[in-house]
Amino acid sequence: MGEVSERGTGTPESDELRTMYARINEKHLFPFWAQRSDVEHDEIRQLMAGARAQPFHWSYARDLEALMLQSARLIHTGSSDRRSLILVNPGLRPRRATVTTLYTAYRINDPNEMMPPHKHTASAIRLGLTGQENFTGVEGENIVFGHGDMVLTPVETWHNHGCVGNEPALNLSVLDYPLVEVLNALEFGHDYQEDGIRKREQTARFTPDYSRKIYGTGGATARFVSHARGVGASSPMYVYRYDMMREVLERNRDAESLAGLVVEYTDPIRGGPVFKTMTFFLQMLRPGEKTAPLNQNASLLISPLEGRAICRVDDQHMFDAEFRDTIAVPGNHWMTLENPSSTTPAVLFIASDEPALAAFGLLRRAARTPAGDVVKLG
Ligand SMILES: [Fe+2]
């Protein structure tokens, strides 16, 4: 309910205002007008007041590791099809969201553990952190993956996760779940069947390493297979190996760019981001490199794969992140990234909701030059 203007305090008019605001509230209405004369556009201030994602850092060693190991000990596949810890932004709780539109979740697979197939309308990626034998089956493509490999499980594709080795494997996933939830389009599917028979694993229908075999590193389109996979809204290449992306950075490590040394994971058939809702980048911070301050309304989730990164947000937050950590940088903040090492590069995996903003003509990005000018970025 609104605050009463100072002018009306103690007058019959103020009593009537108070009563009116109480009734407006009771009737589930919002008064979209200025209620204070000392605040410019007070009606906009009130309209925009609400939950906001905060810049935040989850350290794997400090915040997650003990609970990941404990959950692996206590929660088994017999009692739950899933065992992930979702990063909940303190500014957004109780929503399950790490930034407004996306969430990151961590999962540790026991050796030779396999979860049953499921599907959902949220799209997801899974990023291998430790262990070389993480497993994800996507629509009949069986993918075994390790450190830095990114696996797609696009909207409505059947997939099952697990580990096919004798060592535990740790991975993280990024989902557009909070965005799909806001659009009232969340659906889940379980009870996977083939030919009317319920199955706990998908039968392989593609050759091992199909994605690399057919799509390579992009730029060559195989005409002898169909590229229609899933509902057709996502990249048909379901795994992006770390060495492929890392090599592009390595080859260009002398390049200069105000926005940093960044490569984007793209759809090899249609170009552009791998999903319509979110996109992913790999960024190298060369030894001692500090990026220009960037400000954009897209939100970022930053996870170092090599080295460490110091992330400063609005001169109010300084996060020191290492391998297995995640930093949430909500949109509309100034951010710089710095590699504190003078000898080794840092490599960061970054998820962004940029495509969702771009689809509606809302995306805005800017950088501050060394001279102090603010320039728009494309
Ligand atoms: Fe899933």
DSSP per position, 34-86? ---SSSTTHHHHHHH-S-----EEE-IIIIIHHHHHHHHHH--TTT-S--EEE
**Residues comprising the chain, all counted:** 378
- How many domains does the chain fold into? 1
Please, which pLDDT band fits residue 170 given cuts at 50, 70 and 90? very high
pLDDT at 112 over 70: yes
Torsion sign, CA atoms 252, 253, 255, 257: positive
Residue 218 lies in a domain: yes
Residue 27 lies in a domain: no
Distance of alpha carbon 234 from alpha carbon 370, whole angstroms: 38
Determine what percent of the chain is predicted with pLDDT higher than 70.
Answer: 97
Cross-strand partners of 377: 365
Residue 4 lies in a domain: no
pLDDT at 7 over 70: no
Q: How far is the CA of 159 from the centre of ligand 1 (A)?
A: 7
Least confident of 72-81, 137-146, 233-242, 262-271: 72-81
Distance of alpha carbon 71 from alpha carbon 135, whole angstroms: 19
Distance of alpha carbon 205 from alpha carbon 137, whole angstroms: 10
Q: How far is the CA of 53 from the centre of ligand 1 (A)?
A: 24
Structure confidence at residue 105 (pLDDT): 98
Please, which pLDDT band fits residue 296 given cuts at 50, 70 and 90? very high
Q: Which domain holds residue 335?
A: 56-377
> Helix (H, G, I), strand (E, B), or coil: what is residue 304?
strand
Q: What are phi and psi of 169, to 5 degrees?
A: -130, 135
Residue 28 lies in a domain: no
Distance of alpha carbon 44 from alpha carbon 57, whole angstroms: 30
Which CATH number fits the domain that encloses residue 328? 2.60.120.10
Structure confidence at residue 113 (pLDDT): 86
Q: How far is the CA of 313 from the centre of ligand 1 (A)?
A: 32
Structure confidence at residue 153 (pLDDT): 97
Q: How far is the CA of 16 from the centre of ligand 1 (A)?
A: 54
Residue 252 lies in a domain: yes
Q: How far is the CA of 54 from the centre of ligand 1 (A)?
A: 26
Residue 13 lies in a domain: no
Least confident of 43-52, 85-94, 228-237, 367-376: 43-52
pLDDT at 3 over 80: no
Cα angle for residues 167, 168, 170 (degrees, 5° grid)? 135
Residue 14 lies in a domain: no
List, for residues 214-257, the tens digit of each pLDDT value: 999 889 999 999 999 999 899 999 999 999 999 999 999 999 99
pLDDT at 180 over 80: yes
Structure confidence at residue 356 (pLDDT): 98
Residue 96 lies in a domain: yes
